[in-house]
Structure formats: structure tokens, C-alpha cells
Chains A and B, each alone.
Chain A
């Protein structure tokens, strides 16, 4: 049982405050969805949680099982079980997926066994309907948008995290790939009961991955929390404050 708790988090990039007093608590076995307009700080939140040095924490805390992560290096956060599936997964020329994942798994588990690794990566690649050749190609090198997203899910399966953030894992996927990704995230969820934080713009992903909580994020923090019904309101009204009842009274 793990808990990721964000307390009054305020973070900035290049002197511009993006996250403003952000709060959330996510426990193992819970699925949370965050929705919100472009540029509101959703990806920023996910990268700050992973410890990107591009962002500065002005105040507040990131807690994992009551341990403060604010100053913990990124790799150590990952080894605690945190995983971020990126909105825009990078291409890294020349570093093969297989070298990369082997190194990552060895970092996490000293009893790493090559045979088990090969068996698992092959079966997961098949399960995600990916091409086995990709294992030997550079990380996301020449991958299409959809293939990159599947590669994130492959990495999730290999690393077996307990706390998962998926930043727009649905964008760039065709209908069949969306189903495969959705079903595989759900399969992983059923088998491992991780905490999941989904960032998405669309209802269709939530048809596969059913959230317990839906949050609306605007202007750097959560303005409303509800259940799946809230998604319907958003689909209907967009992020209109009046209609959603999220008008915030400015403090002085």
C-alpha cells in the first residue's frame, strides 16, 4: 500500500509560476483522472513529481509514503516505484531499447536475469501488438507517435511501478491502439493494484480505464473534483467556469 501526496505545491519554470498551491492524494488501487485546458500545468505537474530540474519548487511538498521527495534525485524516485508515461516521449538516437531497459531493470533489481528479461520483453511486445524488431532499435528512433506511446506502456510493464502517471497516453493513438493501450493499462491495474494518475483530454480513454476520481485542473491547481459524471459535463460545456461552477474568487 502506497500513497502519493502533493501538498500545497507551487512550482515555476523560468520565473513563471505554473503550479499554484496544488493538492492531491492518490493511494494504491485508486485511479484518478486530471482534465484541464491546454497550458494549465498538467505536464508540468507530472514532471515536477518525477523531479525534473527544469522546474523549481517554490513551496509545498511531494510525499511518497510520508517520505518527502522534493530533493530526491529522479532515478531514486523511479526506484521507489514512480513511473511517468510522457506526453511526448523523447527519441534517443543510438541507445537501443533493449540496452536501455536492461540497464533500468538492473538498476532496480540486483537479481536481474537476462533470460527472464528476454522472455518478458518479447511477450509484452506481442501483447501490445508491437514489432519485435523495435527492441533493437534506438529509443523511439523513427517511431510514430502511436508507437512511442505503446513503448511507454512497454516500459511500464517491464519496470513494474506501483505509482503511475500517464500524461495523455491516448493522444496520437488510432482506435485499435487506443483499445490495446487501454486494455493493457487495465490488465496491469488488475494484476498489480497500482495508484494511477491519468492526464487526458478525452472521454474515450476513460471508457477503458475507469477512474474513481475526476479532477478539473485550471490555472495551476484543481478547481473541482467529482466522479465520471464530471467528464460528461466537460464534454458538454468545456471548461466554462460559470457552467461548471468553478469560478474562483480572487484573493488579495
Chain B
């Protein structure tokens, strides 16, 4: 498995095969490090971000024609301002599985579906305990492109979680499928916000979006409780399910996420 480990804006470990080319440099004008990855063959990649200090970082992911990328991103640490840009070429496919366990984050993600038949499934999971803002913008720049954007978060403690999710399909870009499924489980009295937007300028498009902010479904809790599981354990099971479901990652990685959840909900 291809793997990159970063500490703040430096790569501290890297194990990549020939399907991935990379480059990291710091833009002198803005002083922001920029990591560029070009994916040239079908592959799996794990990027492990550890933000020990306040960090600003930009990542660009270019996925070449006919290439399938399965990406797993793990974000840990204190505070980060991130900008991630995807560029998908013809007939490429990306499946992003992302688990964020960071105190504060502002993350700006731009997904460019630049050529025909490009598709992405983007699954974000986060435990929000302070302030987290996610802007996810998907541009359908070519016909027959598919996006499936699923930001999920559990908001706890002093958490304030915000998802701004926008999908764009301009006029004459046809037969696209733009989907969004936004969900926040808010276990606090703080305000959480979801702004789901579809900017669609074309009739020949399939688009749907949903947004839910609330707590867990009482029928689901009842089902678990009726098997002898107390409310606290039942809630924990539902959180684990919510934060691991749809992630295309190894079973051991799922177990790691579940262990992190156990730490929070002792």
C-alpha cells in the first residue's frame, strides 16, 4: 500500500510505488507548502496528516485517464487550514475515505471533474469537538461525470461543525449525476450548519441532495436497547457505525477508528 506521512507541512515518511509521482515545494510568496500527486496507474494511497502545530497546506491530486484511485486520508492533531484540489481526467475514478480527528480545522476541497466519465465518491467522517468548517465544491466540467459527496460528522463537547457543500453543473454539460448526502449527529446544544447547494444550469442532469442535523433515530436506539444494550453503549455502537460505514478501508483501520471512538466515549 502506498503511504505518505506528513508532520505539519513536511513529509516525514514516504513509501510510494511507480504509480504515484509526487512533489512538494513551498510557494515563496505565500509561504504555503504545496504537495502535488499525480496518479498514473490504478492504486491505493494512504495520506496520514499529523498537524502538531498550526499548519497551512495545499494538496493537489491529479488522476490520469482511465485510472482508479482509492484514497484514504487520516487527519490528526491540533489545527490546520487545508486546501485540497482534485483534477480528474477522462474515465478516472476516485474513492476517497477520510477520517478527521483534529481539534480545529478549516478545509477547502475543490473537485474538478474535468473530462468525460470521471467520477468520485467522497466520504468524509469527522469527530468535531471545537470548530470545524468544510467547504466542498464539486465542478462537473465535462459530460457524463458523477459525484457522490457524503460529509458525515459527530459534534461533541464545544464543537461547532459546518458543512458548505456545493455542486456545479453548467449549461451544455449533460448526463451528469450530482449527489450529496450531508449528515451531522449533534450531541451538543451548539449550533451546527449544513448549506447544501446545487447550482445546475442544465436540464439533462440527475441531482439530489439531503441534509440532516439531529441526534440518532429513536427506533434504532430502541432496537439495540431491546437486545439488552444500555443507552450509552447503544449510542456508541451507532456512532461507530455512522463513522465507519461506506469507508473503503482495511478492517484493521476500521478497528482503529472504533478504538478512537471508545477513547472519546468512555
Question: What is the interface of chain A, defined by CB distance below 8 A to chain B?
Answer: 47, 50-54, 73-75, 77-79, 83-84, 86, 89-90, 92-96, 99-101, 103-104, 107-108, 138-139, 155, 159
Contacts and interface: CB of A to CB of B under 8 A. Distances in A.
Contact of A104 (B222, B229, B238, B240): B229
B225 A95 contact: no
B242 A94 contact: yes
Nearest to B216: A92
A75 B231 CA distance: 8
B218 A54 contact: yes
A92 B238 contact: yes
Query: In the complex, which of the residues B218, B223, B240 has the most CB atoms of chain A within 10 Å of its own CB atom?
Result: B223
Contacts of B110: none
A137 B138 CA distance: 31
B241 A107 contact: no
B228 A108 contact: yes
A141 to B, nearest CB: 9
A103 B233 contact: yes
A53 B223 contact: no
Contacts of A53: 218, 222
Interface residues on B, range: 20 to 34
Interface of B: 218-220, 222-231, 233-234, 237-238, 240-246
Nearest to A156: B227
Query: In the complex, which of the residues B219, B233, B241, B243 has the most CB atoms of chain A within 10 Å of its own CB atom?
Result: B241
Contacts of B234: 75
A92 B223 contact: yes
Contact of A138 (B222, B230, B243, B245): B245
Contact of B224 (A79, A83, A100, A108): A100
B226 A50 contact: yes
Given A53-B218, A92-B238, A99-B237, A107 B228 contact: yes
A90 B241 contact: no
Contacts of B219: 90
Contacts of A159: 227-228
A90 B234 CA distance: 14
Contacts of B238: 92, 95
Contacts of A155: 227
A138 B245 CA distance: 9
Contacts of B246: 94
A17 B224 CA distance: 26
Query: In the complex, which of the residues B228, B238, B244, B246 has the most CB atoms of chain A within 10 Å of its own CB atom?
Result: B228
Contacts of B218: 53-54
Contacts of B227: 75, 78, 100-101, 104, 155, 159
Nearest to B245: A94
Given A53-B218, A92-B223, A75 B241 contact: no
